[in-house]
Amino acid sequence: MSFFQTIKTIFYSVFMAILLTACGGDISGSGILNLNITDAPVDSAAKVVVSFDSVSIKPANGPAYDIKLVDISGNPVVKSIDLLSQQGANSEPLLVNHVLAAGHYNWMRLNVIASQTSYDSYIELDGGSQYPLYVPSGDETGLKLNQGFNIADGGATTFTIDFDLRKSVLSPNKNSQAYKLKPTLRIVSNDNVGHISGIVGPVALSDASCAGRSDYAVYVFAGDNVIPDDVDGIDAEPVTTALLSNSNEYAVGFLNKGVYTLAFTCQASDDNSEEDDPINFIVTDVVAVAAGTTTRHDFN
**By the 8 A CB rule, do 210 and 197 touch?**
no
CA distance linking residue 171 with residue 197, whole number of Å: 29
Using the predicted structure, report yes or no on whether residue 29 has a pLDDT greater than 80. Answer: yes
How far apart CA 200 and CA 56 sit, in angstroms, is: 41
DSSP bridge partners of 56: 66, 109
Starting at the edge strand found earlier in the chain, the sheet holding 92-101 runs 92-101, 30-40, 159-164, 185-189
Across the range 53-78, mean pLDDT stands at 92
> In this prediction, what percent of the chain has a pLDDT beyond 90?
36
Q: What is the C-alpha end-to-end distance of the chain, expressed in Å? A: 28
Q: How do residues 168-224 score in pLDDT, each as one tens digit?
A: 787 777 777 888 887 678 888 888 899 999 999 999 999 998 988 888 999 999 999
* Lowest-pLDDT range of 14-28, 31-45, 175-189, 199-213: 14-28
Percent of the chain with pLDDT over 70: 86
Q: What does the angle CA 53 – CA 239 – CA 156 come to, to the nearest 5 degrees?
A: 55
Residues 98-126 pLDDT 10s: 888 999 999 988 999 988 888 999 999 88
Q: Confidence band (pLDDT; 50, 70, 90) for 20?
A: very low
150-182 per-position pLDDT tens digit:
888 887 767 888 887 777 787 777 777 888 887
- pLDDT over threshold 70, residue 133: yes
The predicted structure's pLDDT at residue 281: 94
Higher-pLDDT residue of 182, 225: 225
Average pLDDT value over all residues in the chain? 82
- pLDDT at site 141: 59
Q: Which CATH superfamily is domain 194-296 in?
A: Carboxypeptidase-like, regulatory domain (2.60.40.1120)
Q: How confident is the model at residue 12 (pLDDT cuts 50, 70, 90)?
A: very low
**What's phi and psi for 270, nearest 5 deg?**
-85, -5
Q: Measuring CA to CA, how many Å separate 264 from each of 88, 171, 267, 282, 290?
A: 16, 24, 9, 6, 21
For CATH 2.60.40.1120, list the domain ranges present in the chain.
194-296
The answer to whether the CB of 82 falls within 8 A of the CB of 12 is no
pLDDT band at 18 (very low <50, low <70, confident <90, very high): very low
229-247 pLDDT per residue, tens: 988 877 788 999 998 988 8
